[in-house]
Chains A and B, each alone.
Chain A
Amino acid sequence: MSAHPISNTRRTIRQAMTIARRDFVATVFTPTFLLFLLSPLFTIGFGLVGGMGASTVASGSSEKTRIVAIVPSAQQDAMRSADARLRDAFARGDRPPLLAIEAPGTDPEAQARAAFKSRKGIDASATLFGDLTHPTILYDGQGRADARYLASLAEATLRTDPAQTKPLSTATLSSIARAAPTESGHKQAAFIAVFGIFFLALLLAGQVVGTMMEERSNKVVEVLAAAVPLEAVFFGKLLGMFGSAILFVGFWTTLVTQIGGILPPRYATAIGEIGPAVGAPMFFLLFFAYFAMAYLLLGAVFLGVGAQASTARELQMMSLPITIIQVAMFGLALKASAAPDSMLAKVVEIFPLSSPYAMAAHAANQPELWPHVAALAWQALWVAIAITVGARAFRRGVLQSGSGRLFGRRKTVDMSVS
């Protein structure tokens, strides 16, 4: 018996943590958890979804990439004609980025390097400067093919006699590191964020769906409901499963971060150019925060819906629509990440179920931090709402505490003692 009375909030938190601890231990300290930990190896199907998403983002970012040639005015028309000829030789999807031609300034090399700094949302992947017989071509981590194209373009510009076979141009190709992330680097970071959160949340939050049915089949729910507010039971279960999800994410994050060290330098450079607008450390923090929100929100919905099921079949039937909705949210967030200033992006950032994904993409595309504080608070509110609605629906539908309303307080009953 308690010697000191404690506040309801403290009691509720303590009870929720008791349940969370039990669920965490019951989940993690089992042989099946090891199988679960390795399950991503079997989820190749997600790779297909990822590939589709990547192409969406890639097409969005390639539209904003250019190759730049810094050539005197006298050669510009010839180069444009040569570009038109050469470009036709490529299939539509394989064509290099559009050509931008600039007249040389006082320092063409500085001009070429400056072209790599993002201007009005346009990125350069390769730039050519100097005499076309011996041009220098700079390219970033992903622009090697574009640099080769520029070399061919220099040759084609000089070649007026198609029968002549001797090379007229010998280009020097130099890879450069960017001082600031590119627009396409933002886009790639946005895609990784949206896809990563979607993949992790859906994979891990799905575990929550059966936990209340487990309580019902064990008949423990009556013990819990008598001792603990149902909201605390739901929150505790969610936290317990979130704990095991963190373990999963920690394991795979550790593994994935080691991959960078064994990649060939060229790919490592390309990965290094994935640059979120808020900076890598903050992006990592926000990614985790939005993953937590996506998990808790999706988990709360799964928990609430799963609590209504009384058989495994019902459970499956009920979780399918949630999964479909979540895939739709993923698609929308991906679309929005390719157009961060669009109305769609704003709507998707506000709508609770898509907000964590879209805001993670926002962190990749925009440097401001204050929207994230507001977004996290907004999403936390919806987690609380989802838990409350789920608990009340359980009380009404399963415990048959009949007249309790889903929203608002019950009408007060007379508490006087006769």
Chain B
Amino acid sequence: MDNHLAVSASGLIKNFGGRRVVDGVDIAVPKGAIYGVLGPNGAGKTTTLRMLLGIIEPDGGSRTLLGHDRPRDASDRVGYLPEERGLYPAMRAKEAVAFMGALRGLDLRTGRKRAVELLEAAGLGHAVDTKIRKLSKGMAQLVQLLGSVVHQPDLLVLDEPFSGLDPVNQERLEALILAERDRGATVLFSTHVMAHAERLCDRLAIIAGGKRRFEGTVADARGMLPMRAHYVPERDDPTIAQHLPADARHDEHGWSFEVPDGGVEQALSRLIGAGHGIAGLSIERPGLHDAFVRIVGAAGHTAKAATEHTA
């Protein structure tokens, strides 16, 4: 058991109705990190998180949660926001937060006190005694999120936490995640929105088709793709393509292509030699979005090829 890991899983497998939805996923979440589990819809993210938390049992593989082989044994130190949000409609916001804390071992009196503090800090001070059914969807979601942190867990697991939130609340949630990390908690969250992962994650795993396709930092993921150059000629000329790499694509703003192993100098020399001026040139590292699309796309091809081979 690695003491530096808050969560570790090895070869997790889950089948539903004869279909394998999680296929040998490994995950290692360092303590104190913000860790993202990324993947397209239906990739197996939620099932993986549910197995890690012990809500469902894996059909194969192993996992430890905060050093415990049985996730239940660590349940008081874990906070969880499920993908399907759920609160008792007749409960007041303060009581809902305190109730969720009580499920995790926090006494109700302390829970109510902290609930008021958290609700006020989250801009919901006016809704402390409001029944959940009278809150907007976004506000109720925020209440549930506060319920998952009211007992100050060591590990916070959030399943698609940003879905359904407006931009203001998304920013609040990002701040809350960072605050939890600063408090010393480990945060594990799933998403298919790359912008959040790119801004927040120290490390991430990309899951597609039930398998883990990538594990590393955001920089590692972006580094999987070559840098791209964007060239803007002084004037448009069809012959420019002859002097650029074969993958160069033209659009209304100019030409873009992957930076070759030797750099862009050779191509630039050829362009200048042929009399094409340079109005603009930029070299960019691809974003996480591009890396994600590439990784998931490649996974789709692999899966398709495997299916065809089997057939």
Chain A interfacial positions (CB closer than 8 Å to B): 1-2, 6, 8, 11, 14-15, 18-19, 22, 26, 30, 218-229, 395, 399-404, 410, 413-418
Contacts and interface: CB of A to CB of B under 8 A. Distances in A.
A227 B100 CA distance: 9
B72 A223 contact: no
A1 B77 contact: yes
Given A18-B102, A222-B82, A418-B10, A399 B56 contact: yes
B223 interface: no
A402 B59 contact: yes
A22 B100 CA distance: 11
B60 A227 contact: no
Contacts of A228: 75, 103
Contacts, number: 111
B85 interface: yes
B26 A410 contact: no
Contacts of A417: 1-2, 5, 8, 10, 62, 64
Contact of B151 (A1, A6, A410): A1
B77 A227 contact: no
A6 B54 CA distance: 19
Interface of B: 1-2, 5, 8, 10-11, 14-16, 26, 50, 53-64, 69, 72-73, 75-78, 80, 82, 84-91, 99-100, 102-105, 144, 147, 151-154
Given A1-B153, A227-B103, A417-B10, A400 B61 contact: no
Given A221-B86, A226-B80, A417-B8, A402 B62 contact: no
A-B interface, 5 closest residue pairs, ranked by CB to CB distance from nearest: A219-B86, A401-B56, A222-B82, A227-B103, A220-B86
B154 A1 contact: yes
A414 B154 CA distance: 25
Given A1-B152, A415-B64, A223 B73 contact: no
Given A221-B86, A226-B50, A413-B58, 11 more contacts: A1-B153, A11-B76, A219-B82, A219-B84, A223-B80, A225-B55, A226-B53, A226-B80, A227-B104, A402-B15, A417-B10
B236 to A, nearest CB: 56
Nearest to B5: A417
A271 B86 CA distance: 53
Given A401-B56, A417-B10, A418-B26, A224 B103 contact: yes
B192 to A, nearest CB: 19
A405 B59 CA distance: 12
A133 B14 CA distance: 94
Nearest to A400: B16
A276 to B, nearest CB: 42
B61 A401 contact: no
Given A218-B88, A219-B86, A413-B61, A399 B55 contact: yes
18 contacts: A1-B77, A1-B152, A8-B73, A11-B75, A11-B76, A19-B103, A220-B88, A223-B103, A226-B55, A226-B75, A226-B82, A229-B72, A400-B56, A402-B15, A402-B56, A403-B57, A415-B62, A415-B63
B62 A227 contact: no
Nearest to B151: A1
Contacts of A219: 82, 84-86
A77 B153 CA distance: 93
A11 B87 CA distance: 22
B26 A227 contact: no
Q: Which of A11, A26, A414, A415 has its CB near the most chain B CB atoms (within 10 A)? A: A415
B12 to A, nearest CB: 10
A399 B59 CA distance: 14
Given A227-B104, A228-B103, A2 B77 contact: yes
Contacts of A400: 16, 56
B102 A222 contact: no
B105 to A, nearest CB: 5
Contacts of B1: 417
Nearest to B1: A417
A336 B72 CA distance: 46
A227 B80 contact: yes
B56 to A, nearest CB: 4
B88 A222 contact: no
Contacts of A416: 10, 62
A218 B77 contact: no
A277 B11 CA distance: 65
A223 B61 CA distance: 24
A332 B129 CA distance: 52
B103 A15 contact: yes
Contacts of B60: 413
Q: Which of A225, A229, A414, A417 has its CB near the most chain B CB atoms (within 10 A)? A: A417
Contacts of A225: 55
A298 to B, nearest CB: 25
A315 B303 CA distance: 42
Nearest to A230: B55
Nearest to B51: A401
Contacts of B99: 18, 22
Contacts of A226: 50, 53-55, 75, 78, 80, 82
B86 A223 contact: yes
Contacts of B57: 401, 403-404, 410, 413
